[in-house]
């Protein structure tokens, strides 16, 4: 099996405290994988290690290998890693600029011409379902958008540089049902073109959108399987406990 992202014996410690413990896993291309597990189990750390938001320094020690399309990520510089593997956080805040300028930001940095920038911006706003809602106010401040629209804008913005993998860390935790529904529908469409890894504390969300689900506890992978198996036929007692506890 050729995984788009493969992790071998990954260990991460902060100030000698082990946070990720021997993680080995492969992520399939054009799938949505949900990462679930209690607060503090290492979900965000795992995600951030994938795109070098966490890297080896005085406090953080990282052991193990991460392969992107079979190539060791340690060969890439950080900028290139983040070009290929984009990340959106829980409460992303648009730049205090117009909607259009938010979308244009990275494209300008990468030297794309004006006409090309416009073409990409329209395309990415369309794919995130925002275009129809905001096409007449592209010059308005992005900070005037609703929370759900801001979240979709940040996702659209992260797509302008065409990453292969999109990492999302609890992207819906501050949103209401309607906006959650928008984002979930968007992700289901996006998986045709991107590989999506999403941390969520909302188990129903994992059930609704994820092809595969990874359950973590205390920095370890407890179980990783098709979402249906994790929720309807978990093999590990700890998974069973977590799933049933969370569903009451």
- Residues forming contacts to ligand ADP in the complex (CB under 6 A) are 14, 19, 37, 39-45, 59
CB of 40 to Mg ion, least distance (A): 8
Q: Is 10 helix (H, G, I), strand (E, B) or coil?
A: strand
Q: Which of 7, 20, 23, 44: binder of Mg ion (CB under 5 A)?
A: 44
Residue among 40 and 147 whose Cβ is closer to ligand ADP: 40
- DSSP notation for 97-113: SBHHHHHHHHHHHTT--
CB of 222 to Mg ion, least distance (A): 17
CA distance 93 to 82: 18
Residue among 41 and 125 whose Cβ is closer to ligand ADP: 41
**Which single residue brings its beta carbon nearest to Mg ion?**
44
The answer to whether the CB of 74 falls within 8 A of the CB of 67 is no
CB neighbour burial string for 213-233, b if at least 16 within 10 angstroms, e if fewer: bbbbbebbbbbbbebeebbee
Residue among 49 and 160 whose Cβ is closer to ligand ADP: 49
CA distance 241 to 238: 5
Residue among 89 and 131 whose Cβ is closer to ligand ADP: 89
Q: Is 3 exposed, middle or buried (0-12, 13-18, 19+ CB in 10 A)?
A: middle
Residue among 44 and 213 whose Cβ is closer to Mg ion: 44
CB of 224 to ligand ADP, least distance (A): 16
Which partner, Mg ion, ligand ADP, none, binds residue 110 by CB below 5 to 8 Å per kind?
Answer: none
Q: Is 88 helix (H, G, I), strand (E, B) or coil?
A: strand
Which partner, ligand ADP, Mg ion, none, binds residue 40 by CB below 5 to 8 Å per kind?
Answer: ligand ADP
Nearest CA to 153 among 169, 131, 181, 178? 131
Which partner, ligand ADP, Mg ion, none, binds residue 41 by CB below 5 to 8 Å per kind?
Answer: ligand ADP
CB of 240 to ligand ADP, least distance (A): 20
Interacting residue ranges for Mg ion, rule: CB under 5 A? 44
């Amino acid at each position: 099996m050729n995984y788009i992202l493969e992790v071998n014996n990954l260990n991460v410690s902060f100030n000698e405290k082990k946070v990720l413990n021997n993680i080995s896993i492969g992520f399939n291309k054009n799938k949505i994988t949900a990462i679930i597990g209690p607060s503090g189990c290492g979900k965000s750390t795992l995600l951030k290690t994938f795109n070098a938001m966490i890297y080896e320094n005085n406090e953080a020690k990282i052991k193990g290998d991460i392969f992107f399309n079979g190539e060791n990520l340690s060969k890439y510089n950080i900028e290139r890693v983040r070009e290929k593997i984009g990340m959106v956080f829980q409460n992303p805040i648009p730049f205090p600029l117009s909607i259009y300028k938010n979308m244009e930001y990275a494209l300008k940095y990468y030297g794309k011409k004006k006409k090309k920038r416009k073409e990409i911006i329209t395309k990415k706003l369309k794919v995130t379902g925002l275009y129809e809602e905001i096409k007449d106010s592209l010059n308005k401040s992005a900070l005037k958008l609703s929370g759900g629209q801001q979240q979709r804008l940040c996702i659209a913005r992260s797509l302008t540089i065409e990453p292969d993998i999109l990492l999302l860390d609890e992207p819906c935790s501050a949103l209401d049902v309607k906006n959650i529904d928008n984002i979930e529908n968007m992700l289901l469409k996006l998986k045709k073109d991107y590989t999506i890894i999403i941390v969520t504390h909302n188990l129903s969300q994992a059930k609704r959108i994820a092809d595969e689900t990874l359950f973590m506890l205390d920095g370890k992978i407890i179980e990783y399987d098709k979402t249906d198996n994790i929720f309807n036929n978990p093999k590990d007692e700890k998974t069973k406990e977590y799933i049933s506890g969370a569903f009451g």
